[in-house]
Structure 1
Amino acid sequence: MKHIITGIGALLASAAPAFAGGIERAPHSLAPLFENGNYAEVSFGGVDPEVSGTDIMGFSTGDVAQGYGFAGFAYKHQFNENLSAALIVEQPFGADILYPSSTPILGGTRVEVNSTSYTALLRYKFQNNFSVHGGIRGSRADGHVRLQGAGYRTTSGYDLKLDGAWGVGWVAGVAYEVPEIAARVSLTYNSSIDHDFNMKESGGPLPMTFEDEYTVTTPRSWTLEGQTGIAEDTLLFGSIRWVKWSEFKVDNFVFPISPGPTGGEIPLVEVEDTTTYTIGVGRKFTDNWAGSVTFLYEPKEGDIISPLAPVNGRKAITVAAIYTMDNIKISTGINYTKLGGADLGVGESGNKTKVAEMDDGDLWGVGVRIGYSF
């Protein structure tokens, strides 16, 4: 079971998903913290999504989702039998949406978000198979939002630039293991993180450029993960992840504008909370080769969603393989995701005006993870 146990985190994350709830591209992974001994890894890959639909005038939106690459690094150090630490660098949040100018209702609308997180963790194992882990997470992010097209009415032409800024949060969790059957259950909490951005706003209802410092909050989350041996050389694993995307807010000068006719706010960004389920099976085939297949399901949330996050729900399958040679482990995964279609709307919370309808989309992702134990 050794090759499967030590590689299961890589199998889950070998091909990063895109368009999870909100602007999440891949969930925060603590897998390196559970590796045996001292361990280091690098990961990289790319994702090619396709999302398109039709606006309320019957014009095609074209493919609004841009492809992207990702990279990561992790180092775990075992101080003694009980105490270990890890440093994990990853890119969990991001967005790259562009509506072609040929679409009159949303043409020119653009959102671009980039982020990198740095997580420092400690883990302490007790003698009764329980362990606790926790630490701090620093996140650096930047972004650009442009609202364009007849669908945005008086706010069309609004442009918001967010310079790079840091935010700090924390992580805490507990795990229970039964090594004899390769079993482990862990529960991890990730706090929300506030980023105080220097923002520059212009266009739309603004008669001039407006600059100030505002706060963007990335959401808190809970992740429950488990695995257990179910037969010789065979492992069953899965997870449930809940993210409170409703607290992802962009405080600025223009949004929310004055209350609308029903007294509701008109937010710049509005995203529903999400729950994501995964289940998979891994198997060792030879002393060098192991593989897995993982299924993911994220149900749709809400009826009409923002054009800035034009996907609602997803279903995915990831097929991965691990090759182990001495202390080196190479994991490769291929991911296919079916992205849920959605009605897009602008306006007040709970009373949005439909401006477009997106069809079911899809994406392909490929990832490679190289680990070294010492």
Structure 2
Amino acid sequence: MKSNSDDELPIARPSEYGWNISPEVFNTLKNLMLPELDCKVCTEIFIDPITTPCGHTFCKSCITRSLDHSDKCPLCRHPLTNYAFFQHHPINKTIHNLLQSFYTELCKQRQTALEHELYHNMQETPIFVCSLVFPRMPCFIHVFEPRYRLMIRRCLESRQRRFGMVLPDRNGQGYCDYGTMLEIRSIEFLPDGRSLIETIGSYRFRIIERGMRDGYHVGKIERIDDLDPEEEEELERKAIARAQLNNANPNNPRIEEPTTAELITTAREFIESLRNGSAWILQRLNSTYGEMPDSAAGFSFWVATVIPIDPFEKSKLLEIRSVRERLKLINCWISQLRRQWWFARGGCTIS
């Protein structure tokens, strides 16, 4: 971005300011001044310059990113303990105006490069490797790792206010292929740079290409939607017809093929048994996950969220497009839970 060539620094001429100096002297002055207008973190000219209490100036994005890793000035190591101070501090208008007046083209080039970078960032989905979340379900996140602090800021800057959430794999070396897109509903930044985020699950996805950006995972994703209602009805009709045909032959093992409505009823009865087993479970169900959804699709994810089984087992639901098939798997889990000694004795807990 920098240059010592007069031709590459198209700025205002001294005559425009009433200065009685030659263009050669003016260009010499601005070339000498330009290195002092570089951010010492990114080594580019300042964008939204912020001056610290210790007297050093950085791009706003650069100082906040530095504070993700250390609470000291990047140059002199002076303590900078209040992250929120820099998050909301006004820019240094003197330096900003100087750059805009004398280095107009350089500022435009720098801004264009940043916009291009932001656009490129938006083409891939940020991936938060943490826990299992289902569509329509709330998720509250405490963000403290530097890489995720940066990721969340970029999500907010892009105005998309969303990111993908996936489970780590069982060996902790990677992460699962299926996840849920989370929409940011609200965010509270703490004084030290950590943040508390309220999100809600939006839709499911499969990761088809993986990558990294500045320490956090990104990926290209493929959205997963449920079957159309007509397809669901046809799926149920064929399954019941196959079961009836099989059961018509007394030599075949009998197959039980409940309707979707019966699957929902069984799951509802199980949830009611949880509610009746403990007052604090009832309170947690109501306060954390909200009321039981009316739609079959929302109900399947709601039940899967509250029942106490391994999240890796639950994650199988993310790739199933049929509501009926999800409910069948959930009812299989419920049958296994009912046989557990802790449930039979009324000691049910939700983890």
TM-score category, normalised to shorter length:
under 0.3
State TM-score, norm by structure 2: 0.21
Higher share of residues assigned strand: 1
Bigger CA radius of gyration: 2
State TM-score, norm by structure 1: 0.20
Higher relative contact order (CA 8 A, sep 6+): 1
